[in-house]
Chains A and B, each alone.
Chain A
Amino acid sequence: MKYVYELHKTMIANNLILVYEGEFTQDITKSILAMAERNMDAIGELGGVKRKVFSVMVECLQNIVKHSEELNEKDEDGLKNNAIFMLGKQINEYIVTSGNPIRNAAIPSVQAKIERVNSLDKDGLKDLYKEIIKNTEISDKGGAGLGFVDMARKSGEKLGYSFEPINDEYSFFALKIIVPRSE
């Protein structure tokens, strides 16, 4: 049972106030959002910071829900659509992190989207947002293709990401978004 204490210590050492691992659905998204919101209300977090964290969390969680559906067929590794979501709170910032399996074939397009967003400044992101919203259609998965742009705009910092190989077909996509605790 030592792992319970170890996990507890890890969470405290990393200032993690919320960790969820498992299957992601819209209902679970709502529960995670409600917990984070209650936590931020309890410490009297600034309204503007709270709304930014909430927005970034929504985009991050709904990305996982939408894109995990295509991995629904459970493979022998028990991969399925399990993912992880974490919210950390430091003195000066909130850190939203997520990790989920994605098909290796999807890596180049995801990477290109994030790199494009990371290459732009505030005005560049605003222009990209307008360009996408004017030309996009809601996909079959229900997305508008605006998630990364919006996360970067709410954050004001570069999106952090990595792809860790799992096997020939899948990698683990980790995403980190920082939200400063000042308005």
Chain B
Amino acid sequence: MEIINLEGTEETPKVILDKDNGIFEISGRSLPEDVRTFYQQVLDWLDKYAAAPNPETKFTFKLEYFNTASSKVILDVLTKLEGISGAKVIWYHHDDDEDMEEAGKEFQDIVDGLPFEFKTY
């Protein structure tokens, strides 16, 4: 399966989606003006991946900032993951960033069929 590997910028996150090596990660900053265009490639990739997923999918979110439009598409990504058996979210937040921790917990409440593990960095 194709690998998505996007370098992060000041407004878009770093994205790695690599089925063969079992690496699934969105990290950095997400505040693009047009979130739909940026995240569509991620959602499309997940649709393909969902047809034949690995037995285990540990999806890492390690975000520093995201705008509210990104929060909606992050929920879309999490909702897709909820439908993939063996998927799990590793939600990182900076050790003094309570807002990011709370954001993760709120997503966990909404997408209640998807396990979350919280870690600090």
What are 30 A-B contacts with C-beta separation under 8 Å?
Answer: A26-B32, A30-B11, A34-B10, A47-B97, A48-B97, A48-B99, A51-B97, A51-B99, A54-B65, A55-B67, A58-B65, A62-B31, A62-B33, A129-B106, A130-B106, A133-B71, A133-B72, A133-B110, A134-B75, A138-B72, A142-B35, A142-B69, A143-B69, A144-B68, A144-B69, A144-B71, A149-B68, A150-B68, A150-B71, A154-B99
Q: Is the interface of A mostly helix, strand, loop or mixed?
A: helix
Of the candidates B64, B72, B75, the one having the most CB atoms from chain A within 10 angstroms of its own CB is: B72
Q: Shortest distance in angstroms between B96's beta carbon and chain A's nearest beta carbon?
A: 5
- Interface size on A, as a range, is 20 to 34
Q: Which residues of A contact B20 (CB under 8 A)?
A: none
Q: Is B109 located at the chain interface by the 8 A CB criterion?
A: yes
**Contacts A138-B72, A144-B68 given: A52-B99 contact, CB under 8 Å?**
yes
Contact with B along A117-151 (1 / 0, CB 8 A): 00000000010011001101110001110110110
Taking A58-B65, A62-B33 as known contacts, 15 extra A-B pairs with beta carbons closer than 8 A to each other, sorted by chain A number, are A34-B10, A47-B96, A48-B96, A51-B97, A55-B65, A58-B67, A62-B67, A66-B33, A130-B109, A134-B75, A134-B110, A144-B68, A144-B69, A146-B69, A149-B68
- Interface size on B, as a range, is 20 to 34
